[in-house]
A and B are shown apart, each in its own frame.
Chain A
Amino acid sequence: DQQVKQNSPSLSVQEGRISILNCDYTNSMFDYFLWYKKYPAEGPTFLISISSIKDKNEDGRFTVFLNKSAKHLSLHIVPSQPGDSAVYFCAELIQGAQKLVFGQGTRLTINP
């Protein structure tokens, strides 16, 4: 069974510094990984994605790194801004099963 794990329930970072959120997965098949951001009382918002044939994808302040040998991905936010304070979910898109498998989420707090 596919599993996605975010082992840090919370992370606190100073404004302007780098935020690094981590995620581990168990599935070895070719897949697609996504990061979503969620504010209270709103649904998750798509941030950035990466195909398992790539090692890195960058979009503005957000970069996702994929380490296939370690089955690990990370989201880097630099520089961190107060508006980045939210819960971040990593998710694996299971093709064929047509579903997203989410991690438990990491609450990121950016301190001024």
Chain B
Amino acid sequence: DAGVTQSPTHLIKTRGQHVTLRCSPISGHKSVSWYQQVLGQGPQFIFQYYEKEERGRGNFPDRFSARQFPNYSSELNVNALLLGDSALYLCASSLDLAGAPSTDTQYFGPGTRLTVL
């Protein structure tokens, strides 16, 4: 079975540009979450989507936005890129709404490595 897939694997942008990152969840999973991992730190929560609606948002500026499509895939958009946005962006999918831990686990994709120059 295919796991969580993300594209692209690597991306180089310059300051001020816009970027779109894509995620396809595990088949049958309805919830997608996005995390940012900067070097030397643990992943930080950005967004969670469930059934195409935003269900959770982390402490990130409005330059970050996301959406979920009817097939449960998701896009993360970042506008007006800053050097500090350079990080590994991780997508995680779960069967249902994360928060029912006895029945649900978040499975992570390999991530997209974004470098902002």
Contact = CB atoms under 8 A, between A and B. Distances in A.
B60 to A, nearest CB: 12
B108 A99 contact: no
Contact of B99 (A36, A44, A98): A98
B31 to A, nearest CB: 8
B101 A104 contact: no
B106 A46 contact: yes
A93 interface: yes
A51 B40 CA distance: 27
A43 B41 contact: no
A25 to B, nearest CB: 13
B57 to A, nearest CB: 9
- Which of the listed residues B40, B106, B107 has the most CB atoms from chain A within 10 Å of its own CB? B106
Majority DSSP secondary structure for residues of A touching B: strand
Nearest to B109: A43
A43 B48 contact: no
B55 A46 contact: no
A8 interface: no
Interface residues of A, number: 27
B68 interface: no
Contacts of B40: 104
Contacts, number: 67
Contact of B110 (A41, A51, A96, A101): A41
B43 A89 contact: yes
Interface string B88-117: 001010000111011001111111000000
A46 B109 CA distance: 12
A102 B42 contact: yes
Given A42-B110, A43-B109, A43-B110, A102 B43 contact: yes
A13 to B, nearest CB: 21
Interface in A23-50: 32, 34, 36, 41-46, 49
Nearest to A43: B108
Interface of A: 4, 6, 32, 34, 36, 41-46, 49, 51, 89, 91, 93, 95-105
13 contacts: A34-B101, A34-B105, A36-B108, A41-B110, A45-B108, A89-B43, A91-B42, A98-B33, A100-B45, A100-B92, A100-B98, A100-B106, A104-B41
